[in-house]
Structure 1
Amino acid sequence: MARTKIDYGIDLGTTNSAISRMESGEAKIIKISGLDDTMPSCVAYNKKGVLVGKNAFGAHGSEQDLRLSRDIEPNAFIEFKRTMGTDKKYFSSNLGKDLSSEELSAEVLKTLKSFVTDEAVNAVVITVPAAFKNNQIDATRRAAKLSGFEHAEVLQEPVAAAMAYGLDNKKKDGFWLVFDFGGGTFDAALLKVEDGIMKVADTEGDNYLGGKNLDLAVVDEIIIPHIQENFSIDDILSNDYSKSNYREALKRYAEELKNELSFKSEFNLYKEGQATRLDDNGEEIEIDLTVTQAELETVLSPIFQKAVDISIKLLERNNLKGSSLDSLILVGGPTFSPIIRKMLEKQICKPDTTVDPMTVVSKGAALYASTVEISDDIKEQTRDKSKIQIEIGHEASTVELEEFVTLKILTDKTEGTIPEKVFAEIARSDKAWSSGKVEINEIGEVIETQLIEGKTNSFEVTLFDDKGNILESEPKEFTIIQGIGGLNSMQGLTLNWGIEIKKRETGKIEFRQVSGLEQNKSLPATGTANGLKTQKQIRPGMDSDFIKIPLYQGEHGADGTRAIYNEHVYDIIISGADLPALLPDNSDVDLTISIDKSQKVSIQAYFPYLDHTSEIEVPTDTVQSVETNWLSNEIRKAKGSIEELKEEGIQEDKVQKIESEINELERKFDNSKNDVDGKQEVLTNLRKTLKNIDELSETTEWPKLEEELKEEFYRLEKANKDLGNDRSTQVVNQLRNQLEEVLKSQDIKLGKALAEEIHSVFFQMTLVYQLINFIRQHNQHFGSYHWKDSNRARQLLNEGLQQIGENPNTDDLHPIVVDLINLLPNDERPSGDDSVLVG
């Protein structure tokens, strides 16, 4: 059967994965080896080849047993989803080479695809965490391509879960919260539902919070302390490589403890034969540990609490409480834990347990896939042109009980004979409704279909000639989902997109949000950033002359924060080689950034002076890396900032909370110096803590800001007295009135804005004198500079000196100074990155 819709959905999970497809209007799980709904996301390599799934997980377990006795090179891998889009490599000694996260994920995808035995699968929808960054989404697409899928769309996991839940649920209005706690990531998604039309209102998440964190908490706080009480293992724990291996191997026992204590009040973990590693004194290590439910809850609750706090923060941001929710939907294996279910019921509301947390995402992905057209390339490959080709047009989903469908014969796609008259009949799969025979042609005909409420309605199309004979045709089927609306706009941006700019008034480098690409904007989305200025001239054909546009993704409240606190996506470089003519300094640049439904990014940079547009495609093969020494230094600097807060006497309780967060991050960093995933987790949380430090620092800003305002205004008054005129005096008087109001209100935000305005007026008033000083200084010390063209430099300086003698203004001297700067080598130019745009 030639499919026109993708119809296949895959939940590519950190711990487990699943595949579903649409069959007769229903999303059905494809059984793994005919037995299981899900498959472990595990890949192992032996001397004969590759193992994936349950067999690979068995090999991984055997390997972890060996790791408990000695350090070995692994050949079985799990949890590689957490390192998607990074430079992490997994070395297999049996293969003798490194493997990327995408290559390992591709093996999982290929294996899932192999369980479809009745047709070739070349298109799929793959789910990703809502909090996935752009490079992680790109990495998922690369994995799909490596696994042989010619067309792959991505869908956010909470959206998939909400679709599967919403179709069968009678609640068609209100707010739903998807609580998606997986093996490696956590997402909270708030959906607003009106008359069955779903819209993601807001999202929040953590790419490094999941079941892995639960296991490591049990290892670090229960199992290893027990071993340390009875044995000496300092040598193991002092070596980063051995420590990482040992913690990883002990995670199996943590999983066993969690599972057993889900239904027992206590459990004895006894390991003798497998835990044969010798301690520092040569004794064989034995584990004989009894743990109670209460002890386990003490360890796991702080991890789960992070997810609950994220959810509460999301609700509060939208002026909601747990009692405002109509549904709390659980997704992910860890949500089976009675600990988290009890916490959610107490702190938010009672969860809805009507869907299977393990399969709901895969089924939702298949539902969504049934609404997505297969790419034209695949359609052409699979057409049987001997059959009459038709085009079926309809809404993929609706909240109405009737839907118009258009049928049209594609004469240019059909090689067989088409009768003079062709009739079509649409019949619903339950045989309770049919359209009767309607004549169709290459122009098209509209037929009104009747839908069953709250179902995925499947229809079959049959063609006849005028004698009633059935004609071979394709496609033969289509589906319309009744009860869910707004599928095309359900997916939105989960992060704010922006660029790094130098703020014109202060010179501060910051994250500037792009208008139209704010968090929660529906996809596809287009954003613009206008009013940007170049800092230097760009000469045509010169690669050394360039504009740099750093592209970032930022979380809620990112606008105006330090750019480095956000996720860097890509540095867009536009050089003189890309421009048709000279672009003067201070030229306008208008950016248009487009993000399609699958979150692929393209950019247009328009230069009004040249009437030229540069087209830029953001590459999809970038990876992130975190350098260990750099991260260690950033933690050290954060601790220094905390000491400064203490000295300034800021609220002690808040400082202590941040200090505790930094100490916890430092502990995690010490445990994961050899682990890319662990370092990414530390960096993500460090950025959040640094933002909190900045916010606390602002609470002590008023005394400093008050002093700065008075000094800046005094300087402006003096400059106006020496250099001003009637017009400038009027501006200064207006600023004086504003200053008096700000000093009364002690409003920091207004004070900062006023300080910038005073600085800007002073700068403009004194700019001509700064230019005069530049020319005089470089004339006086002419021989100490390494001019690229000394004759041209001398000529410009002479011209500048002549202008100075004729009472010049800024416009007379500015071009001369710019040309002089361009004749200086980079290390002798005035400081500052002049390739970044000014805004």
Structure 2
Amino acid sequence: MARTKIDYGIDLGTTNSAISRMENGEPTIKKTDTLKDTMPSSVYINKKKAIQVGDSAYNALKRDRLKSMKASGNFESNAFIEFKRTMGSDKSYSSSNLGKDLTSEELSAEVLKTLKSFVKDENVNSIVITVPAAFKNNQKEATREAAQLAGFDHIELLQEPVAAAMAYGLSSDKKDGFWLVFDFGGGTFDAALLKVEEGIMKVIDTEGDNYLGGKNLDFAIVDEIILPYIEENFVIDSILADDSKKQILRNAMKFYAEETKIKLSFNDTHNILSDLGDIPGEDDEGEEFELDITVTQADITKALGPVFQKAIDVSKNLLERNNLKSSSLDSLILVGGPTFSPVLRNMLEAQICKPDTSADPMTVVSKGAALYASTVNISEEVREQTRDKTKIQLEIANESSTVETEEFVPIKILADKTEGEIPEKVFAEITRGDKAWSSGKVEINTIGDIVEIQLNEGKTNVFDVVLYDNKGNILESEPSNFSVIQGSKIGNATLAYNIGIELKDKITNKIRFKSIKGLEKNLSIPAVGTKNGLKTQKQIRPGIDSDFIKIPVYEGEHNSDGTRAIYNEHVTDIIISGVDLPALLPENSDVDLTVNVDRSEKIMVTAYFPYLDFTTEIEVDTTKSSIETSWLANEIRKAKGSVSELRDEGNPDEAKLQKIEIELAELDKSFENNKNDTDAKSEVLSNLRKSLKVIDALNETTEWPKLEEELKAEFYRLEKANTDLGNEKSTKLVNEFRSQLEEVIKTKDVKLAAVLLDEISGFFFQLTFIYQLINFVRNHNDHFGSYQWRDTSRARVLLNKGLQIIGESPDVDELHPIVLSLLDLLPDNEKPSGDETILVG
């Protein structure tokens, strides 16, 4: 059948994936080749270069991991899993059987192709794919790339918690209140808070961790249960001393751990048993490994509790920052295989509230994606490819979901899309799927008419559309049906991050992240944001590629405004050079930015230059993330140094300091063990950011005395400069600063003090600007021969002119252009520090 809605949804998971389709108004799982609801997200390339996906690939992975123990690190596996965690990075997976490296996107494409193959009765060209709410822009872009490689022409992305809420909401009797979606997947964790009013759902806040999931649970079981057993029963000193060998052992034991995790989700105990020879390799004394471990609920609680607690803490923080208590929740919805665990369910009930277990955690996301897909029109481009123009083409503008029991549906004939003959009079009859309601025959034409339909409550209503001529003969039409979901209505998805850019602050001169108004976290998408009145720092000459403006685009977490770059996720750098501009753009020119974010969070930036009356539009091409090993090592070192400084300054919160020290030590160890692992480095950076925020918060408690002293000194310096150089206007401003200083000292507000310090410093700079220009000219004249001037003669002429102005009557307007021209004659490494390519705002 020719579809007008997408109707297909895929849950592309870290460890398991599923595909669903709307059938007769219901989201239906399409069974895998092994007749399961879900399929392992695993890929294997055999020696004949054939690609296997799913259960067979997962079994091959298990065999390869065990073989690697005997190969002493020389074995190269051709089976892969958990590549979703490296989507959007420069990580590649080497396949000796295929003779090349594969990207995360290429491996994900194979999973998507296989899911698509489970649909036997039609070709699938359009798809909704779910992604974690905490996914960054580059990871979403990588998901689109994987879908394109898999042959999909129209791709929509949907946040996993939103999909789960949609599937849950359709069947739930609860139509009001606050819902918390607790989505603990194979590799990621998401928490989403929704407000529901009369069945209309709106996401109000999200939080998550892209490096917390079932994988962490598996390794917790390995480290806390299986490895201690092996240490106790075998001699493995050489393995433990070699990080590479230890990791091979951990990876091989992970499959036993995963089985244990699943079994103990439904049983009180589980025996980990292996026969002699099942596990290749020997201990230091030549003994073959063998497992015989009885694991109880108490054992698994001890192992998994700390990992689950991290997810619960994220959820509690999400509630707290929205001023909600656990008792305020009406539903706690579980998503993901690990949420079957009684350990987690007991912890949730004790710390938040009793979970609602009515939805299947394994399929709720895929089904929700299909429900959402039934509300999204197939793109016109794809629609044109599938039209049967011999049938009368219709446009049916129905609401896809509603909380009303009656809806008005506009319907009209598309004559320009129809190649066959259209009778002079055409009548349409709309009949509900249960045959209990019909519109009767209503005349329609190319202008259109409106039909009022009646809906059954709390379900998806399917309506058949039949056309007749004036003699009662049936006319073939397309589409011939439509559906309306009654009882719930999903609000638009929301931004999981603040979208903003890195700017040089015009007062403090510091380069910081600034969010774009209209694109703040939790606002509905699609969305449009603006940032007007930004300034260029230097002129851009037309046709010159080396003259450019750089607009670094970032995604920022909660409270990210004004933070350092390391706190935020770099999306890409937009470069606008002289080649893109029609004429000279002078220094200090205005730039107005408009940023559009579509329903799938694709970003488009429009830059307008009022001076040139010129607009350029740039689609953000997300860059692959790459973390420099040396840079990350240095950031960890600096974080440790910050903790030492806090202790030296006598920070009173010793418990927090010790906790941060332990966390940093664990981060450092993880980093040292996985310097070449992209996924591991990303996880280290993610956790380092969390530690840095705690360090900054602790800094504030010891910062006040020295900040107060610095603030007073800076104000007295400004006051003296104003006495020597000021006027009536500047004196008024200095008096305002004095009042603000007194108020800040009284309240001891560190954040306000820091802002005030920046403002006072900025005004001092403006007031004494003429003297800085004079000093620049004199210094470069005195040391003329030590600079590598691009044009020595030109530099000499400019300096002489500057000295002449200084000797007669120093004037900022005359001296400033000379200094700028001199700066252009200096090589980049001899210019004063600071990025002149980014905008000021």
Aligned match of 1:467 in 452, 464, 471? 471
CA drift at 1:577 = 1.6
**2:221 corresponding residue in structure 1:** 218
Cα 1:283–1:670, aligned 2, differ >3 Å: closer, same or farther?
farther
Aligned match of 1:574 in 559, 573, 576? 576
Alignment-mate amino acid for residue 423 of structure 2: P
CA distance in 2 between counterparts of 1:725 and 1:259 reads 76
CA distance in 1 between counterparts of 2:252 and 2:584 reads 62
**1:695 corresponding residue in structure 2:** 697
CA drift at 1:264 = 4.4
**1:255 corresponding residue in structure 2:** 258
CA distance in 2 between counterparts of 1:783 and 1:636 reads 39
**2:186 corresponding residue in structure 1:** 183
**2:245 corresponding residue in structure 1:** 242
CA distance in 2 between counterparts of 1:13 and 1:757 reads 49
The 10-residue stretch of structure 1 (336-345 or 641-650) with the greater mean CA deviation from structure 2: 641-650
1:20-31 aligned within 5 A: 20-31=20-31
**1:163 corresponding residue in structure 2:** 166
RMSD of aligned residue pairs (Cα, Å): 1.7
CA drift at 1:223 = 1.6
**1:355 corresponding residue in structure 2:** 359
The 10-residue stretch of structure 1 (539-548 or 108-117) with the greater mean CA deviation from structure 2: 539-548
**2:447 corresponding residue in structure 1:** 443
CA distance in 2 between counterparts of 1:181 and 1:419 reads 57
**2:600 corresponding residue in structure 1:** 598
**1:524 corresponding residue in structure 2:** 526
Aligned match of 1:140 in 140, 143, 151? 143
**1:9 corresponding residue in structure 2:** 9
TM-score by length of 1: 0.97
Alignment-mate amino acid for residue 110 of structure 2: E
CA distance in 2 between counterparts of 1:645 and 1:775 reads 42
**2:55 corresponding residue in structure 1:** 54
Alignment-mate amino acid for residue 245 of structure 2: S
CA drift at 1:674 = 4.2
TM-score by length of 2: 0.97
The 10-residue stretch of structure 1 (254-263 or 404-413) with the greater mean CA deviation from structure 2: 254-263
**1:326 corresponding residue in structure 2:** 330
CA distance in 2 between counterparts of 1:385 and 1:34 reads 39
**1:646 corresponding residue in structure 2:** 647
CA distance in 2 between counterparts of 1:296 and 1:345 reads 18
Q: Is the 8 A contact 1:244 1:674 kept in 2?
A: no
Q: Is the 8 A contact 2:546 2:578 kept in 1?
A: yes
1:274-673 aligned within 5 A: 274-485=278-489, 487=490, 489-620=491-622, 622-650=623-651, 651-673=653-675
CA distance in 2 between counterparts of 1:471 and 1:582 reads 63
CA distance in 2 between counterparts of 1:643 and 1:777 reads 39
Q: Is the 8 A contact 2:508 2:759 kept in 1?
A: no
CA drift at 1:558 = 1.0
Cα 1:726–1:61, aligned 2, differ >3 Å: closer, same or farther?
closer
**1:44 corresponding residue in structure 2:** 44
CA distance in 1 between counterparts of 2:125 and 2:732 reads 71
Alignment-mate amino acid for residue 228 of structure 1: E
Q: Is the 8 A contact 1:240 1:674 kept in 2?
A: no
Alignment-mate amino acid for residue 256 of structure 1: E
SS state of the match for residue 786, structure 1?
Answer: coil
SS state of the match for residue 520, structure 1?
Answer: coil
Alignment-mate amino acid for residue 599 of structure 2: K
Alignment-mate amino acid for residue 645 of structure 1: L
**1:741 corresponding residue in structure 2:** 743
Q: What residue ranges of structure 2 are gaps of 5+ in the alignment?
A: none
Q: Is the 8 A contact 1:267 1:291 kept in 2?
A: yes
**1:74 corresponding residue in structure 2:** 77
Cα 1:713–1:565, aligned 2, differ >3 Å: closer, same or farther?
same
CA drift at 1:279 = 2.4
CA distance in 1 between counterparts of 2:157 and 2:26 reads 20
Q: Is the 8 A contact 1:68 1:250 kept in 2?
A: no
CA distance in 2 between counterparts of 1:525 and 1:802 reads 55
CA distance in 2 between counterparts of 1:78 and 1:278 reads 26
CA drift at 1:427 = 0.7
**2:727 corresponding residue in structure 1:** 725
Cα 1:349–1:305, aligned 2, differ >3 Å: closer, same or farther?
same
The 10-residue stretch of structure 1 (126-135 or 686-695) with the greater mean CA deviation from structure 2: 686-695
Matched pairs, number = 836
Deviation per CA, 1:253-311, whole angstroms, max 9, x where unpaired? 11122233334444442333222312234333333333332122111000000010111
Alignment-mate amino acid for residue 837 of structure 1: L
CA distance in 2 between counterparts of 1:421 and 1:726 reads 82
CA distance in 2 between counterparts of 1:598 and 1:738 reads 45
SS state of the match for residue 432, structure 1?
Answer: coil
SS state of the match for residue 715, structure 1?
Answer: helix
The 10-residue stretch of structure 1 (754-763 or 638-647) with the greater mean CA deviation from structure 2: 754-763
Cα 1:262–1:24, aligned 2, differ >3 Å: closer, same or farther?
closer
Alignment-mate amino acid for residue 406 of structure 2: E
- The answer to whether residue 127 in structure 2 is matched with residue 124 in structure 1 is yes
SS state of the match for residue 299, structure 2?
Answer: helix
Alignment-mate amino acid for residue 4 of structure 1: T
CA drift at 1:24 = 1.1
Alignment-mate amino acid for residue 643 of structure 1: S
1:101-120 aligned within 5 A: 101-120=104-123
CA distance in 2 between counterparts of 1:339 and 1:286 reads 28
Deviation per CA, 1:415-450, whole angstroms, max 9, x where unpaired? 111111111111111101111111111111111111
Deviation per CA, 1:306-350, whole angstroms, max 9, x where unpaired? 010111111111111111111110000000000000000110000
Cα 1:2–1:360, aligned 2, differ >3 Å: closer, same or farther?
same
Q: Is the 8 A contact 2:8 2:127 kept in 1?
A: yes
CA distance in 2 between counterparts of 1:581 and 1:263 reads 71
**2:786 corresponding residue in structure 1:** 784
Cα 1:733–1:626, aligned 2, differ >3 Å: closer, same or farther?
closer
CA distance in 2 between counterparts of 1:42 and 1:833 reads 45
Alignment-mate amino acid for residue 12 of structure 2: L
Alignment-mate amino acid for residue 122 of structure 1: N
The 10-residue stretch of structure 1 (4-13 or 499-508) with the greater mean CA deviation from structure 2: 499-508
Q: Is the 8 A contact 1:496 1:519 kept in 2?
A: yes
Alignment-mate amino acid for residue 170 of structure 1: D
SS state of the match for residue 175, structure 1?
Answer: strand
Q: Is the 8 A contact 1:244 1:672 kept in 2?
A: no
CA distance in 2 between counterparts of 1:435 and 1:34 reads 44
Cα 1:586–1:240, aligned 2, differ >3 Å: closer, same or farther?
farther
The 10-residue stretch of structure 1 (713-722 or 662-671) with the greater mean CA deviation from structure 2: 662-671
Q: Is the 8 A contact 1:276 1:286 kept in 2?
A: no
**1:775 corresponding residue in structure 2:** 777
Alignment-mate amino acid for residue 438 of structure 2: S
CA distance in 2 between counterparts of 1:78 and 1:65 reads 15
Deviation per CA, 1:56-93, whole angstroms, max 9, x where unpaired? 22222222232233332111111111111111111122
CA distance in 1 between counterparts of 2:115 and 2:524 reads 30
CA drift at 1:175 = 0.4
The share of aligned pairs that are identical, in percent, is 69
CA distance in 1 between counterparts of 2:40 and 2:306 reads 26
Alignment-mate amino acid for residue 40 of structure 2: P
SS state of the match for residue 584, structure 1?
Answer: coil
